[in-house]
Structure 1
Amino acid sequence: MPRTPSLRVRLFGLILGPLLLMALVLGYWRYQVAHDTAEELFDRSLLSAALAISRDVAVSGGDALQPSTRELIGDAAGGEVFYHATGPGGIYVTGYAYPPVNGGPTVEDRYAPRIFTSLYRGEPVHVLQVTERVTIDNLTGDATATVWQRTEDRNAFANQLAVRAAGLIGALLTTLAVVVWFGVQVGLRPLLDLQDAIATRSPDDLSVIRRPVPVEVRGIVRTLNRLFGQVQGSLDAHQEFISNAAHQLRNPAAAVQSMAEALRDADSPDERSRRLRELVEAARASARIANQLLSLERLRHGSADGHGEPIDLCELVREACAAAGPAVLEAGVEFELMTPPQDCTVRGEPVFLAEAIKNLIDNALRHGGTALTRITVKIGCTDGSTTVTVADDGVGLTPTDSNAAFSRFSQLSPASGSGLGLAIAQSVARHHGGSLRIDPVARGASLTLALPACADAPAARDA
């Protein structure tokens, strides 16, 4: 079975994953902002240096730069600053020789600051050039100050700023990850406490969980409580079934033992023969009760609900009547089967359906009383439903007797049998999505087993 990550790891990933993605996006954005901001600051620094150099050239007449200007050039951010100054007529005044040349288009406003990139001694540089109108020793003309920095130095400084910002974001993300990890652990503590509480229960303790839990877990607790209730109900039903089965099997088992002992002590062949017949009859009754109990238990687990093989109900009822017929006729009771002209097809389990029909016939025979003279089995087939009705003219049975008649181990009047026949028939009906009912009749009893008709039932047969 594949292993799945713990809830703690999943929550940690779900919370931290989007934050990590957001941190990456924010880090990239912060890098771009840092780079652009650094470029703007570097250009402003170069502009300040160029203006200061141009001022000193005009003030000193081209002799030297003031100490404040040299300090400004030395403290400029973005790396070492190079400069070159010319006076009126393009005369070299001060700075480095051979400044970088602007290979780009000429700017219309010659007195506006010009920023461009070029090469200086084989290295790319960022250049800012300022031209001003100045007068030096009664000579008036344009003085040009050119300052530049290595592009590599500027990028390194910008990258350093970006790395510091990324480090700050990483530290914050790490701190947040630690907080989330332990926060999830604390948040899941009620679940772990609930697990411990359930683990300490004994196998027999299926009582309702009343432990306070967070709102998000209440649905799980309600489901567990409902499951515990269903399991407890199933266990109670099993216990009741075992108790009833033990009670019902005790008398037949005792009767078989008693008859076996009587057979052993029989004085004459005639008595021995009589005792033997009684023993066989008691053994058959005991086997029938056991089979009925097993049928009830099998029906209690699972539900067909229309599943199973298509069955010709008329043929099935004929076979059930043929099996029950000898006992009915031996009791001196008339037995009649009435079938419709068309086929009646249902979907289900033939063993269970045959058992239900036999139980209905056996119930009429056993509980019909001394007035019983006739048992009729009638099959009805209408659109969407098929019915099997077992009617007799014996002791009456009304719909108000349904609860007692269909209860297990229950009988309306003392008679032979276990009281399981109608309970089994009703379980079979429900098992197949149908029902068993007691019909209101003027005389005797009439029980109808209703089943849903099979959708692919064949057409009417020849009469």
Structure 2
Amino acid sequence: MKQSLRRQLVQWVVIPLLPLAAATAWLAQDNARQAANAAFDRTLQASARSIAERITLQDGELVVDLPVAALEMFDPHFQDRVFYRIGFASGSTITGDSELPLPGTLPAAGDVVFYDAGFRGEEIRSVALGVPLFYAGGQRLLLVQVGETTLSRQALARQLFRESLAQQWLIGAVAALLVAVGINRALRPLQRVRGILRERAGDPSLQLEVDSVQRELQPLVSALNAALAELEQQLSVQKRFIADAAHQLRTPLTLLKTQAEVTLRLQDPAEQREGLAALVRATDQVIRLANQLLALSRAEPGPNRHDTRELDLAELARTVTLDFVTVALGKALDLGYEGDEHAMLHGQPLLLREMLSNLVDNAVRYTPAGGEITVSTYARGDEVELIVTDTGPGIPVEERPLVFERFYRGQQTGGDGCGLGLAIVREIVRGHGGQIHLDSGSVGGLRVVITLPCQPAHGGRGTTG
């Protein structure tokens, strides 16, 4: 199970801060040590300069009047021990601890050098002050060294570190609280969206306010609105299909049952055969109606709209035309194909075959014996044109806008058919972003012209001429 978005946001904010907190703690410890050294180093330096001020020459001899205050200015709280040495840079000692280590780099005259060293098994912090002195006939460099054990320094460093760490933890806790509050406030728009979806669950007409969420979430809400709109359209199509199917199938099924009951009561074998023949014709009509309704449901908008691939409409038109040759010959019709060898486009093969089948079937059904039917396809730049021409009765101009409506049967049908053929064709053409136009042929009859884009835009809807 996926974690909550709130928890993931908190983790992504807090977890990266852990190594940063560790680095900050290390820096705080280092800063505390440096601050403690800086505080105590001033005392060391003051002690060394105080001693240096009391070094004099009397009758050519060095005299050191060591001030007591110079060694008593250190904090006695942790009983740190203090060491000193006064001697020449060459190494000879005048007074003090001769074993006190020299600094790695000798200070210049008037300068000081601070350094850490080990002395008699303890860590010490020392300062070396360079004192220029004219002695024994030459310029000499005298070193004044003062060292101190580090107990007080370490205690101060620990105290500063604890105080700094406590402040950082306090700041971190406040920051974490502010982050939690900020994340909670940032997620409120999503919570409102969730509440709306829960309250209006099952309402496909729901549309969310895009501006009610942050800019980064607006594409998500827009996509959700588009999905809800498409769902509403699909549900509307399903309801309409169910209503149409129930309305259109109820009457023929009732007639079919009545015909079967009447035939069952007939005693004369000839009348029974006639009744059975009528029953077969009625059954064929119901089967055709059911097939047409299923074809219409496939042609209407839905998820299958996105299932397209490149195909050759010219080849498909030739195949469908060939499928109806036998039926056409049975009616003494001249059915043929003409046009370009290839006409490539992106579309749905099953729907385009259904479209072609309906057009050719209508032409074969309503064209009288001895007539002609021609199927043509042409590649015209970024479009493909499909033309089906017949020499049948045609469709009056005033009826042409009506024949695309469902279950409309024109005068030329003589009551035959389901009234769904051209409705199916129109839905398929619209789904492919094309146009359909009805016209009269050069020698009468009907001329159906369909124009389809080679690359239809997603969700494109064409127009009907």
User: What is the TM-score of this pair, normalised by structure 1?
Assistant: 0.75
What's the CA shift for 1:287? 0.8
- In structure 2, distance between residues paired with 1:73 and 1:13: 49
- In structure 2, distance between residues paired with 1:321 and 1:366: 13
1:377 and 2:374 correspond? yes
Asked whether the equivalents of residues 85 and 97 of structure 2 are also in contact (C-alpha less than 8 Å), the reply is yes
Structure-2 change in CA distance of 1:78 and 1:14 (3 Å) = farther
Equivalence for 1:279: 279
Equivalence for 1:237: 237
Asked whether the equivalents of residues 314 and 339 of structure 1 are also in contact (C-alpha less than 8 Å), the reply is yes
What's the CA shift for 1:204? 4.6
- In structure 2, distance between residues paired with 1:227 and 1:46: 78
Query: How many residues are aligned here?
Result: 429
Structure-2 change in CA distance of 1:155 and 1:292 (3 Å) = same
- Structure 1: where are the runs of 5+ without partners? 135-140, 455-463
Equivalence for 1:294: 294
Equivalence for 1:360: 359
SS in 1 for 2:224: helix
SS in 2 for 1:415: coil
Structure-2 change in CA distance of 1:212 and 1:79 (3 Å) = farther
SS in 2 for 1:281: helix
How large is the Cα RMSD of the aligned pairs?
4.2
Asked whether the equivalents of residues 259 and 275 of structure 1 are also in contact (C-alpha less than 8 Å), the reply is yes
Equivalence for 1:147: 146
Equivalence for 2:60: none
- In structure 1, distance between residues paired with 2:268 and 2:319: 47
Equivalence for 2:249: 249
SS in 1 for 2:333: strand
| Among 40, 45, 48, the residue aligned to 1:47 | 45
Identity of aligned residues (%): 24
Equivalence for 2:445: 444
| Among 336, 339, 357, the residue aligned to 2:337 | 339
Asked whether the equivalents of residues 189 and 213 of structure 2 are also in contact (C-alpha less than 8 Å), the reply is yes
| Among 320, 323, 329, the residue aligned to 2:324 | 320
Q: Deviations over 1:275-296 (max 9, x none)?
A: 2222211111111101111122
Equivalence for 2:84: 83
Structure-2 change in CA distance of 1:207 and 1:159 (3 Å) = same
User: What is the TM-score of this pair, normalised by structure 2?
Assistant: 0.74
- In structure 2, distance between residues paired with 1:278 and 1:375: 30
Counterpart of 1:166, as a letter, is L
SS in 1 for 2:324: helix
Equivalence for 2:3: 5
Structure-2 change in CA distance of 1:73 and 1:56 (3 Å) = farther
- In structure 1, distance between residues paired with 2:99 and 2:352: 109
Asked whether the equivalents of residues 305 and 431 of structure 1 are also in contact (C-alpha less than 8 Å), the reply is no
SS in 2 for 1:409: coil
Counterpart of 2:447, as a letter, is S
> Which has the higher mean CA deviation after the structures are superposed, 42-51 or 4-13?
4-13
What's the CA shift for 1:250? 1.7
> Which has the higher mean CA deviation after the structures are superposed, 212-221 or 253-262?
212-221
Structure-2 change in CA distance of 1:184 and 1:25 (3 Å) = same
1:305 and 2:308 correspond? yes
- In structure 1, distance between residues paired with 2:198 and 2:175: 34
- Structure 2: where are the runs of 5+ without partners? 57-62, 134-139, 456-465
Asked whether the equivalents of residues 84 and 100 of structure 2 are also in contact (C-alpha less than 8 Å), the reply is no
1:200 and 2:199 correspond? yes
SS in 1 for 2:279: helix
What's the CA shift for 1:117? 4.6
Asked whether the equivalents of residues 364 and 375 of structure 1 are also in contact (C-alpha less than 8 Å), the reply is no
What's the CA shift for 1:148? 0.3
Q: Which has the higher contact order (CA 8 A, sep 6+)?
A: 1
- In structure 2, distance between residues paired with 1:244 and 1:255: 18
Asked whether the equivalents of residues 190 and 214 of structure 1 are also in contact (C-alpha less than 8 Å), the reply is yes
Asked whether the equivalents of residues 84 and 145 of structure 2 are also in contact (C-alpha less than 8 Å), the reply is yes
- In structure 2, distance between residues paired with 1:190 and 1:349: 40
SS in 2 for 1:406: coil
| Among 398, 404, 407, the residue aligned to 2:405 | 407
